[in-house]
Structure 1
Amino acid sequence: MRNILALLTLLTSSNALAAGGFTWIGAAQQALHVDFPGHVVTFILIGLLLAVAGVIYRMKLSSISNPVIPDKGFTFRNLVEAYGKFIYAQCNAVLGEKDAPVYFKFVATTFILIFASNLIGLIPGFLPPTEYLSTTLALGCFSFIYFNAKGCKELGTINYLKHFAGPLWYMAILIFPIEILSTCIRPVSLALRLNGNMMGDHKVLTTFLNLEVMGFNIAWVFGAIPFYLLGLLVCFIQAYVFTMLSMVYISLATAHHDHAEHH
């Protein structure tokens, strides 16, 4: 009985295995004698699983005679389409009806990738890739490259660079370096915000779920569900904030400004 309780305590702890130095990815690497960063492998695994989910959805959609009619009940297809509607509504609110379809794929991919990377940290024996600065910095750089590339494409490279100079030509020597610096800081701020919050959430969740008072684990006394719900909320909010800021940066980069608008 004592061994069973110890095993259940281990499994209900969100990151008890990972906190002790054990991860499923690490165990697999040791068995295969592969030396590669575990968070990179986890991130690649998440990407592959999402790609497989996308293929399954496309196969289900192609087998339906009328894709406009939703399935009955709670199905995988309805779940994917509900997610698509949610993301499209956010794109429409930030980017507008005209640009929402253009950037929908980028926004939908970014959100689900970050959310899944955050969420996997709630599974015992896994560490979230977004807990590592290298992962969040790569995501921030991806967003940075994307909105700058779209800005150059929509406005033209010369016109895109001109908007960094501001509306008054005699102030350009002061405004231009400030705007360039402000834009270059964006991927770093995105990376640090996501990394810091996920690292803090992981540590807080692990601490509370493994906290013992007089030999009793409080996760068993008060229930582990509230702690998991809190972790789930943090995972969603951080993915949402990263995605919303990326959309705002896209909107700022692709906005068409004329002389009258500046005045």
Structure 2
Amino acid sequence: MGELFTFFGVISENHTYLFMSHMLLTALIVIMLAKMATKSLKVVPGGTQNLMEAYLQGVVAMGSDVMGREKAMRYLPLVATLGLFIGIANLIGVIPGFEAPSAFLDFTLALALIVFIYYNFEGIRRNGVVEYFKHFMGPVWWLAWLMFPIEIVSHISRIVSLSFRLFGNVKGDDMFLMVMLMLAPWLLPMIPFALLSFMALLQAFIFMMLTYVYLGGAVTLHEESL
């Protein structure tokens, strides 16, 4: 977004440069948080370790409601990493002088493709190719010719849904913040800042929940057929 001042934009306004610089900054913050949380692990956690453990327990609890605790733990590394990465990426955009990497469609589309490819891979790996694609045909065999293409389109549309939901919400938040900073003094937008921070975390939560839902639907086919 060229109208919005960014510190990195002082060097260049190139779209790719702005996207990569803010994405790398996000990755650096996530790595630093992980290092701080694990550098001196204690039985009684404190500081960053306590914060990260609470976060991981929350992610497991979220996944347990969808697919059970055992499966939620299995996919915890993927979902928790996505949530932390997206959450930090969204929050960066709330800070004046920075732009959220998730306000770039390149970022959200890449994450959506990762989730799409992975949950289909897991579904095939755990159920077999035939069994996995068999559930695309629906419960009534004589409607398989209709249900199969509908299911394929439905699954592909998840890429659009995941990527554009996150991109659209964060892009809209960035534009709202830009307008607030142009119209109001620095102290006045405190309430919008708090609201945008909440929305940034909410979008990360939604992305994690949908990832668990898609994974749960892909790996539990044999249980559904029992």
Q: Structure 2 length as normaliser, TM-score?
A: 0.91
Q: For residues 57 and 260 of structure 1, do their structure 2 counterparts lie closer, same or farther at Cα, with a shift above 3 Å needed?
A: closer
What amino acid does structure 1 have at the position aligned with 2:121?
Answer: A
* C-alpha distance in 1 between matches for 2:18 and 2:127: 41
In structure 2, distance between residues paired with 1:98 and 1:258: 14
**Offset at residue 41 of structure 1 (A):** 2.2
Structure 2 match to 1:249: 214
CA RMSD of aligned residues (A): 2.2
Whichever residue aligns with residue 34 of structure 2, its letter is G
In the alignment, what sits opposite 2:113?
A: 141
Q: Distance in 2 between matches of 1:20 and 1:153?
A: 47
Task: State how far apart, in whole Å, the 2-side matches of 1:128 and 1:108 are.
Answer: 19
2:24 match: 44
Output the amino acid matched with 1:153.
R
Which residue of structure 1 aligns with residue 201 of structure 2?
236
Structure label with greater radius of gyration: 1
* 1:111-190 alignment, distance < 5 Å: 111-190=83-162
Could you tell me how far apart the structure 2 residues matched to 1:55 and 1:259 are? 41
**1:120 deviation in Å?**
0.2
- Which residue of 1 is the match for residue 7 of structure 2? 24
- Point out where structure 2 has 5 or more consecutive residues left out of the alignment: none
Could you tell me which runs of 5 or more consecutive residues in structure 1 were left unpaired when the two chains were aligned.
1-17, 212-216
Quick one: which amino acid aligns to residue 53 of structure 1? L
- 1:117 offset after TM fit, Å? 0.6
Instruction: Give the distance between the partners of 1:28 and 1:95, measured in 2 at CA.
Output: 47
TM-score w.r.t. length of structure 1: 0.79
Q: Shift of the alpha carbon at 1:126? A: 0.8
Q: Structure 1: how far apart are the matches of 2:223 and 2:76?
A: 26
Tell me, yes or no, if the aligned pair for 1:210 and 1:219 is still in contact at 8 Å.
no
CA contact (8 A) 1:209 1:227 kept: no
Structure 1 position 53 matched with structure 2 position 36: no
Equivalent residue pairs, number: 226
Give the secondary structure class of the aligned counterpart of 2:39: helix
Q: Calculate percent identity across the aligned residue pairs.
A: 35
The 8 Å contact of residues 136 and 147 in structure 2, kept in 1 or not, is answered as: yes
Cα offset for 1:19?
Answer: 6.3
Confirm or deny: 8 A CA contact 2:138 2:144 kept in the other structure. yes
Hey, what does 1:79 align to over in structure 2? Answer: 51
Give the structure 1 partner of residue 70 of structure 2: 98
Q: SS at 2:111's partner residue?
A: helix
Which residue identity is paired with 1:27? V
For 1:102 and 1:169, how far apart are their aligned partners in 2?
Answer: 33
